[in-house]
Amino acid sequence: MGLTENFLWVFQGVADPNSAVSNEENPSVICYSTAGTYNVTLTVSNSNGQIDFQTFTDYITVNDCINPPVPRIEVSQDTICAGDCVNFADVSTGFGINSWIWNFQGAVAGSTTSTAQNPQNVCYNQTGSYAVSLEITGSGGDSIRVFNQVVTVVSTPACRPQIAFTAPDTLCAGDCGQFMGNFTNADSVRWTFPGGTPSTSTARNPGLVCFDEVGEYTILVEAWNEAGAAPPQVFDVVVTTRPDLSAGPDQTINSGATIQLTASFATGSPTGEFTWQPFEMVDDFTAQTVSTSPDESTIFIVYFKQDMGCTAVDSVKVNVNFVAAIGVPTAFSPNGDGRNDVLFVLGQGIARMEFKIFNRYGLLVFESRNQALGWDGTDGGRDLNPGTFVYTLEVTFADGPREVFTGDVTLIK
């Protein structure tokens, strides 16, 4: 047709409708997104009005292709100490991935392979740099890839165990102490207790260790892992003699009497703290010598804690002979001179009482149920005149009997 000046391409089935038509002589890139067979039509023309066209039937064939998946991985740590473990994660790309086969070079027996998508706790004991391979299966087929130097295993001093512990520094002969350990990254441990029972232990927390003989003992604590041994820990435990504490011989007193109890030592005078029980029955429960006036037979216990931490305990029994006694003075003088100003019920061994005083007309002027509360010669706050008054006293003694007493008392000014 001669000179060609104009071009019109029509592409059937293209992905983008805007690119289905082109006026370029040589269109560059035409994209298809759907599988199938498509026609291409070319129309040409010139300024003389000449036109020609041709359709190329089934000229483009588009296949439904899926690429194989691409293996990719992530690791929780790329440098670890011998004996440690790492976690792996699959981050592969591709469609329909449904199976995984991992191989871990240098891993400990039992964890060198895995079919999990994200294998956990893959452990390494030997130093070196190790590769990991991953084979995956997806809609586009199978793919395998080897990743070199993924995990580096080192055995530096920083990888060795660390030791911390709690232990007594002083014990009494015959006592036991609590030993507790806190080990970091340790595969095995060992305690050595010279003079102790047990003498050794491989437990992280040996618990109670007993020492029978006085002396100074050096305790050794050790720990190991794949990287080597921790710096051993050494400390001393001092085992001292228990103070030969004595609370004294048993004592016997009459009811109402006061007695002193003294803690002493057969040898020496160790320094420390005393504690008496029952503390409410002595005047100073932290003193070496205490005073007490028990109403009934009582066992007193004294504890002693030496400044170095050793403790001792002993006891003494105070037997109380019950002596019932009662009395009311026949006269008193409430004149404020500080002598015989108050009328009290006298005696000991009184468990309960009811004390009443009446004037000569039989009227009640005073009443008390407390032996420590006496009459001051008043009635309702008003001073009474001198004279003779009658009292009644009903008493129940500590050993059980009940008695009633009556009598006269003279108020003197």
Q: How do residues 364-387 score in pLDDT, each as one tens digit?
A: 999 999 999 999 999 999 999 999
What confidence score (pLDDT) does residue 1 get? 57
Write the single-letter amino acid at 24: E
pLDDT(399) > 80: no
Quote the CA–CA distance of 313 and 182 in Å, as a whole number: 34
Quote the mean pLDDT of the chain: 92
What confidence score (pLDDT) does residue 69 get? 93
161-188 average pLDDT score: 93
What confidence score (pLDDT) does residue 28 get? 82
Class of the 245-321 domain?
mainly beta
In the chain, residues under CATH classification 2.60.40.10 are 73-154, 160-238, 245-321, 325-411
CATH entry 3.20.20.10 includes domain 73-154: no
| Better pLDDT: 156 or 199 | 199
Which of these CATH numbers, 1.20.1630.10, 3.40.120.10, 2.120.10.30, 2.60.40.10, describes 325-411? 2.60.40.10
Write the pLDDT tens digit of every residue in 58-103.
999 988 778 889 999 999 999 999 888 999 999 999 888 999 999 9
What confidence score (pLDDT) does residue 369 get? 96
Quote the CA–CA distance of 399 and 322 in Å, as a whole number: 7
What confidence score (pLDDT) does residue 135 get? 97
Quote the CA–CA distance of 59 and 61 in Å, as a whole number: 7
**Pick from 67-71, 162-166, 266-270: least confident:** 266-270
pLDDT band at 345 (very low <50, low <70, confident <90, very high): very high
Nearest to 116 by CA among 147, 89, 86, 76: 89
Quote the CA–CA distance of 165 and 233 in Å, as a whole number: 9
pLDDT band at 413 (very low <50, low <70, confident <90, very high): confident
- Joined together, the tokens standing for residue 341 give 């100003």
Give the CB-side neighbour count of residue 292, counting CA atoms within 13 A. Answer: 30
What confidence score (pLDDT) does residue 167 get? 95
What confidence score (pLDDT) does residue 18 get? 85
Only one residue has tokens 């000449």, namely 50
- Joined together, the tokens standing for residue 193 give 């207790």
Q: Per DSSP, what are the bridge partners of residue 375?
A: 343
Q: Per DSSP, what are the bridge partners of residue 89?
A: 74
**Pick from 49-63, 92-106, 138-152, 184-198: least confident:** 49-63
pLDDT(118) > 70: yes
What confidence score (pLDDT) does residue 95 get? 87
What confidence score (pLDDT) does residue 301 get? 97
Nearest to 182 by CA among 233, 228, 227, 237: 233
Percent of the chain with pLDDT over 90: 73
Beta strands at 188-192 and 170-172: parallel, antiparallel or unpaired = unpaired
CA-based end-to-end distance of the chain: 163
What confidence score (pLDDT) does residue 2 get? 64
120-136 average pLDDT score: 96
Query: Is it true that the peptide bond before 161 is cis, omega within 30 degrees of 0?
Result: no
E-only strand ranges, 76-198: 79-81, 85-86, 88-90, 99-104, 113-114, 122-123, 128-138, 141-154, 162-166, 170-172, 175-184, 188-192, 196-197
231-260 average pLDDT score: 91
What confidence score (pLDDT) does residue 242 get? 86
Q: Where are the alpha helices (DSSP H) in 238-386?
A: none
- Residue 110, SS3? coil
- Joined together, the tokens standing for residue 335 give 């004149």
* CATH number for the domain formed by residue range(s) 160-238: 2.60.40.10
- Joined together, the tokens standing for residue 182 give 């806190």
Quote the CA–CA distance of 289 and 332 in Å, as a whole number: 38
DSSP state of 294: -
Quote the CA–CA distance of 71 and 103 in Å, as a whole number: 13
Nearest to 9 by CA among 19, 21, 18, 17: 21
